[in-house]
Structure 1
Amino acid sequence: MKWNKYTIKTITDAEDIISSTLMDLGIEGVEIEDKIPLSEADKKQMFVDILPDMGPDDNVAYISFYIDSEVDAKETLQNVKHELNELRSYMEVGECTIMESQTEDKDWINNWKQYFKQFSVDDILIKPSWEEVKPEDHDKLMIQIDPGTAFGTGMHETTQLCIRQLKKYITSTTKVFDVGCGSGILSIVSIKLGATYARGIDIDPNAINASIENAKVNQIPEDKFHVEAGNLLEDINLQQEVGCEAYDIVVANILADVLIPLTPVIKKNLKPNGYYITSGIIDKKEEDVVAAVKDNGFEIVEITHQGEWVSVTAKKL
């Protein structure tokens, strides 16, 4: 099926009212593109590896909506233009021009699969379930990850940095706390490397389903892996519930701006002499994270780099 795409060029201050106006006209969903920097509240809600470099905010916004190409959109467009002119009469809305294009109906849920191919992190093979293991990889430790549309595959440098650090410090008695677990890959790798138990937590409830499914695919026993949704940074009850000095390793592959306030919380969950493995740190944020780790009484053990990304490994004194 083909869809007609209509994109309104406006200003950021008018985003909300134009979106609301479109909804009032029966247009059920819109896409908004702008360069507004994320607020601190937004960042706390986004446990991700990368934030795009969008450049400075230029106060320009693009609001797009779609109409089935088989539907006569003339009346809808007339109504949209009328309402935009009404808005223009009492507020600034920028150009408010409407660009038209056409797009194919796509299987957005499964399209990402074409970009995820098996790869190795040293002697660990990470593969999607739909690919066969290559003959030359049969001797590697295999991890199967189907991240869906929202969570990490392990291909990103920050995840690989964490995996390499976990390999150095995991023993047969290690208990791991995976903060911002996403697809569950770091917890699963930990158990496959011999850890006795892993606990994952993520702010996004959808990550929990992804982690559980990936654990099943990798035949992780239920008593070895527990995962739940929650905000460790803000929920004091959760901080207590996950356990005081309960873990030998805490791994956190999240944004530097979240790692910094999270570090004193993590310290409470980590056993004395336990390891704190962090990543998700762009190189320009390295000094900030290192300072926060040291200020909270950790000893820096190792700082590793891959591309422009950094992993800081520290030990609780």
Structure 2
Amino acid sequence: MEDIKWLEVAIDTTTQELEDLSARLTMNGVTGLVIEDEADFQQFLENNRQYWDYVDEELQEKMRGVCRIKFYVSDDADGRKQLQKWMEGIDKPYTTTALGENDWAHSWQKYYKPMEVGERLYIVPEWEREEPVPAGKTALYLNPGLTFGTGSHASTQLCLGGVERYVTDGCKVLDLGCGSGILSIAALRLGAEHAVAVDIDPKAVDVAYENAAMNDIGKDRYHVLAGDVLTDEGLVNELAEQKYQVVLANIVADVIIPLSAKVDRFLAEGGTFLCSGIIDVRAHEVVEALERNGLTIVDRWEKKGWVALAARFQ
């Protein structure tokens, strides 16, 4: 089948003119507008700052001073005719960039290749699952396009190293802030008997179940919930009905710090709390919170400015 070609049309504007330009394009029949605006970007960061400790500087620089609208037409005579119609009465200059169907939908896959993590894990994108797995490695199949948690980020790799060290055959695992489910699914692949995973984003539930199914893990061993353990006491009570030998939290310092006061509700005697996603300059705050709530640090790992901690009640 012939590869469909597309044109990405970009119109630079100002924050003040953005709303009017969007309305005019919509009236001309444009659908699927993509708006890139530094002001909206900064507002989004401010309103959601509790979910991260830093924002990539390259991304911030890319958005600096940006205010533009993008839309797409087919790269042929019909598409160019449609573009001319959509731009009627709009005297702003625009640029076009040619894209192939494959460029648009699938080219990101080339950035995800199988990779070794820790001593035993071998993370494999679903489209390469037929590739042989190195001897002595445990395969973990994932769809990296689904949501956060591909195994490529240093904080996830640190936590996966902790999973290798502390997960034992037959243990129970609780994964708080599970994202793609990578940590809890890895624990099950490495011998855990049962895992419960929770994420504040409801979309993570289906994503985690889909990734689990790729690894032949069913709902008899894996249970995924949506909710916020910091604010939903009913959810906390439900999770605390059983105890877990390993509790995982690859989130950020601002969530781990208040979460440390609830860990005793979930952790079995002698169990381990593994937390990651901690930028190094804030690690001391997390350590202080853990110790304040009766936990003792038993392991610490660092990589590329990120810190992971293992703690236990002594």
Q: TM-score range by the shorter chain?
A: 0.7 to 0.9
Structure 1 residues 253, 23: closer, same or farther in 2, change over 3 A?
farther
Letter of the 2:6 partner, please give it: W
Equivalent pair of 1:4/1:100 in contact (CA under 8 Å): no
Aligned equivalent of 1:78, options 39, 63, 88: 88
Which residue of the partner structure matches residue 309 of structure 1?
306
Instruction: Indicate the residue corresponding to 1:247 in structure 2.
Output: 244
Identity of paired residues, percent?
35
**Total equivalences in the alignment:** 299
Shift of 1:304: 0.7
Change (3 A) 1:311 1:140: same
Q: Which residue of 2 aligns with 1:119?
A: 115
Quick check: 301-310 or 60-69, which moved more? 60-69
Structure 1 residues 238 and 21: alpha-carbon distance in aligned structure 2, compared to 1, 3 A threshold:
farther
* Contact 1:49/1:253 (<8 A) preserved: no
1:224 aligns with 2:221: yes
Asked if structure 2 preserves the Cα contact closer than 8 Å seen for 1:43 and 1:258, the reply is no
SS of residue in 2 equivalent to 1:227: strand
Q: Does structure 2 retain, via aligned residues, the 8 Å contact 1:6–1:98?
A: no
Deviation at 1:177, TM superposition (A): 0.8
> 2:97 is matched by which residue type in structure 1?
Q
Note closer, same or farther for the CA distance 1:252–1:25 as it changes in structure 2 (3 Å cut): farther
TM superposition score normalised by structure 1: 0.80
Q: Which residue of 2 aligns with 1:91?
A: none
Cα deviation for residue 301 of structure 1 reads: 1.9
Alignment partners' CA distance in 1, 2:255 and 2:22: 31
Q: CA deviation at 1:113?
A: 2.4
Which of 98, 101, 106 in structure 1 is aligned with 2:96?
101
Give the one of 159, 166, 175 matched to 1:178.
175
Alignment of 1:142-153 (within 5 A): 142-153=139-150
Unaligned runs of 5+ in 2: none
- Between the aligned partners of 1:20 and 1:285, the Cα distance in structure 2 is 44
> 1:195, 1:168 → 2: CA distance?
12
Structure 2 letter corresponding to 1:215: A
Deviation, 1:227, is 1.1
Residues 263, 20 of structure 1: CA spacing in aligned structure 2 closer, same or farther, 3 A cutoff?
farther
Pick one of 124, 128, 135 that aligns with 2:125: 128
3-state SS, counterpart of residue 127 of structure 2 = coil
Distance in structure 2 (CA, Å) of the matches to 1:204 and 1:168 = 28
Cα deviation 1:207-238 (Å, max 9, x = unaligned): 22222122222222432111122233333322
| CA–CA distance in structure 2, aligned partners of residues 17 and 112 of structure 1 | 33
Alignment-mate amino acid for residue 99 of structure 1: Y
User: What are the within-5 Å matches in structure 2 for residues 198-213 of structure 1?
Assistant: 198-213=195-210
**RMSD after superposition:** 3.0
Query: Which whole-Å CA distance do the structure 2 matches of 1:34 and 1:286 have between them?
Result: 33
Which range moved further: 191-200 or 164-173? 164-173
* Equivalent position of 1:63 in the other structure: 69
Check 1:19–1:262 CA distance in 2 against 1; reply closer, same or farther (3 A cut): farther
Asked if structure 1 preserves the Cα contact closer than 8 Å seen for 2:199 and 2:226, the reply is: yes
Whole-angstrom distance in 2 between the partners of 1:106 and 1:50? 33
User: Following the alignment from structure 2 to structure 1, what is the Cα–Cα distance between the partners of residues 35 and 73?
Assistant: 16
Q: Alpha-carbon deviations, 1:224-261, whole Å to 9, x = none?
A: 11112223333332222222562222111123333334
* CA displacement at 1:125 relative to structure 2: 1.7
Moved more, 124-133 or 48-57: 48-57
Q: Which amino acid aligns with 1:240?
A: N
Question: How far apart, in 2, do the equivalents of 1:20 and 1:42 lie?
Answer: 28
Q: Displacement of 1:21 after TM fit?
A: 5.1
1:78 alignment partner, SS class = coil
